[in-house]
């Protein structure tokens, strides 16, 4: 057995999920990976991430880790979905003009799972891509454009949930939820970040932004927002740090450099290792677990498209993220544990109270 197969076997053998599906797309050279971590609360749900990976093992590892986070995300939000994630691992060189056909072939795989997995947008995919995937994968595809009968981008409701989470964090730290005059550093101004920034500004916060895309940086500079170089993020003084790019940004090195009071952002898997939650606690930095604060988009998209929620119902559910954040922070303080541990305890209690896996799948109506 070669080293790649050994790595893949080790990842899957030590993973605590239910199912990993891999499929080689011969026409493009891409790999489709679908990881279903839990169906205890409902069908496994999670976005489709589309990017190049250094290896198939890396793609599987990413899908499995993200799927586990989705389980905790939906459980913490008390929402009737399980956790899953999909990855379209692109080859180093491929033809973008073949994107629609590639997405349609992926949709066919999703449909073959017959509702065990339902998908939506993620890093590298959009509502328009969901329209394409939906041509072969419906009714198990959410986050489509309004023109295709969907609810549109999940970024605005995700940003809304992060905003309410930041308010709850500020109230915990400073005694009141007002953001006026508070300095918030947003890392990543694409997707969720670009929707979060105006919310913070409207609330009177002083907003700093770090972004690697030069086009986005140039646009932000015209608004007068202070731009922080990516290498200077960890050491920049602020009240709240909001990671809204990729994961793994909170690690041994960056935590030692942080000059913030609290952390709440949209990026998935912000902690590089489980030990990093204790490192933050030791430094007196209050961390809101990402799977608690970034669930607004996922629950809104599925709530509107599958459960028939009105906009008011969706907003009320997203606003409740702030209540969950308060509950987690209070539990962590009372029990003397990390906020990550407190949030996982809350999610695990809800999972333990659920029926057997797959006993009550969500009824999904085709549109």
Distance CA 26, CA 28 (A): 6
For residue 277, how far is the Cα from the chain centroid?
18
Residue with tokens 């006026």: 180
**Which residues have C-beta within 8 Å of that of residue 95, sequence separation ≥ 6?**
28
Q: Which of 37, 40, 85, 172 is catalytic?
A: 85
Question: Could you confirm whether 85 is annotated as catalytic?
Answer: yes
Kindly list the distances between the CA atom of residue 29 and the CA atoms of 23, 42, 61, 93, 115, in Å, as whole numbers in the listed order: 10, 32, 19, 9, 26
Structure tokens at 122: 């993620």
Q: Is 224 buried (19+), middle (13-18) or exposed (0-12) by CB count in 10 A?
A: exposed
Q: How many residues does the structure list for the chain?
A: 367
Structure tokens at 258: 């942080």
8-state DSSP, 32: E
Q: Which residues of 90-126 are buried (b: 16+ CB within 10 A; e: fewer)?
A: beeeeeeeebeebbebbbebbbebebbbbbbbbbebb
Distance CA 196, CA 186 (A): 8
Please report which residue ranges of the chain form alpha helices under DSSP H: 3-13, 56-76, 99-112, 127-137, 155-174, 192-202, 214-221, 252-257, 275-282, 290-293, 296-306, 311-335, 339-352
- Is the link from the previous residue into 251 a cis peptide, with omega within 30 of 0? no
The strand ranges marked E within the chain are 19-25, 30-38, 44-45, 48-52, 82-90, 117-118, 183-187, 206-210, 226-227, 240-243, 262-263, 286-287
Residue with tokens 């509950």: 327
Phi, psi (5° rounding) for residue 8?
Answer: -65, -45
Active site residues: 85
């Amino acid at each position: 057995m070669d080293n790649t197969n050994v790595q893949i076997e080790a990842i899957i053998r030590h993973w605590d999920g239910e199912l990993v599906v891999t499929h080689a797309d011969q026409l493009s050279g891409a790999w489709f990976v679908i990881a279903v971590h839990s169906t205890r609360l409902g069908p496994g749900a999670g976005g489709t991430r589309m990017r190049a990976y250094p290896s198939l093992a890396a793609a599987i590892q990413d899908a499995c880790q993200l799927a586990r986070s989705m389980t905790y995300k939906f459980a913490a939000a008390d929402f009737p979905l399980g956790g899953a994630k999909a990855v379209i691992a692109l080859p180093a060189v491929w033809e973008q003009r073949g994107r629609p056909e590639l997405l349609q072939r992926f949709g066919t795989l999703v449909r073959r799972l017959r509702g065990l997995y339902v998908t939506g947008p993620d890093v590298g995919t959009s509502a328009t891509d969901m329209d394409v995937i939906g041509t072969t994968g419906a009714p198990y595809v959410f986050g489509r454009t309004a023109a295709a009968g969907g609810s549109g981008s999940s970024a605005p409701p995700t940003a809304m949930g992060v905003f309410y989470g930041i308010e709850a964090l500020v109230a915990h730290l400073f005694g009141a939820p007002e953001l006026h005059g508070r300095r918030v550093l947003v890392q990543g101004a694409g997707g969720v970040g670009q929707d979060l920034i105006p919310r913070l500004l409207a609330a009177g916060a002083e907003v700093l932004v770090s972004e690697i895309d030069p086009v986005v940086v140039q646009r932000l500079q015209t608004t007068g927002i202070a731009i922080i170089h990516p290498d200077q993020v960890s050491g920049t003084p602020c009240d709240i740090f909001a990671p809204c790019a990729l994961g793994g940004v909170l690690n041994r090195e960056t935590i030692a450099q942080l000059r913030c009071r609290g952390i709440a952002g949209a990026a998935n898997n912000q902690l590089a290792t489980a030990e990093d939650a204790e490192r933050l606690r030791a430094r007196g930095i209050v961390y809101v677990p990402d799977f608690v604060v970034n669930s607004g988009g996922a629950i809104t998209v599925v709530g509107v498209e599958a459960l028939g929620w009105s906009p008011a119902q969706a907003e009320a559910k997203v606003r409740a993220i702030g209540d969950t954040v308060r509950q987690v922070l209070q539990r962590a303080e009372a029990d003397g544990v990390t906020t990550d541990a407190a949030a996982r305890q809350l999610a695990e209690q809800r999972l333990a109270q659920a029926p057997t896996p797959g006993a009550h799948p969500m009824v999904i109506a085709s549109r």
